[in-house]
Amino acid sequence: MLLHSKIEGNGSPLLILHGYLGMSDNWKTLSTQYAQNGFEVHSLDLRNHGRSFHSDEFNYKVMVDDILHYCDHHNLDKINVIGHSMGGKLAMFLAVLHPEKVEKLIIADISTRAYRPHHQDILQALNAVDFSLQKERKEVEEVMAHYVPDFGTRQFLMKNVYRKSPDELAFRINLKTLTEKYDDIGIAVPENTTFEKPTLFLKGENSGYIKERDEQDIIRHFPQAEIKIISKSGHWLHAENPKEFLELSLSYLVS
């Protein structure tokens, strides 16, 4: 099965990989700006997300295979990749396992190390929703608010809610699999793997996802890596400071 995508622009292929519980639509504005600057942009919905297919399998190995299948289908020989959070870890797996496929790599606010589970409140919120009872978006958000007080996070999650029929809402994500396979997403980049080509790590100034102690391990896997900070931003750096994110990423991609 083929991943759903939005394709725009002409030029060097650039794949954008969203994070856990996200979708290609999260990158809509930046995707258009990359397309306007000489790239053929492929904004993907990863499996079990957005408008892509649902599957009981969910790990980096099968997701790497999804990307390779997508590239074969669209005759993409060499690609540039931007990945955020889970999408950044997926981009790293792709690059170290298939270095011949990737030209330039941008990793947004995720390191090579393993991460402990830390989305429990969000998964509780999503699993507390009962669409047989909550018929309106406002009612869904009210349920989520008991678990997720932050308004911005709730709005991000609410992007996954759509009207399945005139009388029924539903999630676009495959919540069952994403909940059951959550631990598989936190794993580290495989030992003794490297990607020798240029790589840019972008870190949110106020985010704790990339720590100083991570830099040595990043360089071990990505010897040509640069780590730069996006000011006035946390984990959602591309949404919180899109101007600086665009400037730094474009400067790197066209150099």
Q: Which residues are catalytic?
A: 85, 235
- Going by C-alpha positions, the residue among 43, 116, 112 that lies closest to residue 81 is 43
Specify whether the backbone of 187 is left (phi greater than 0), alpha (psi in -120 to 50) or beta. beta
Instruction: Please say whether the dihedral angle defined by the alpha carbons of residues 36, 42, 45 and 46, taken in this order, is positive or negative.
Output: negative
Q: C-alpha 113: how far from its chain's center?
A: 16
Start-end of H helices in the chain: 28-35, 60-73, 86-97, 120-128, 137-145, 151-158, 175-180, 215-221, 237-240, 242-254
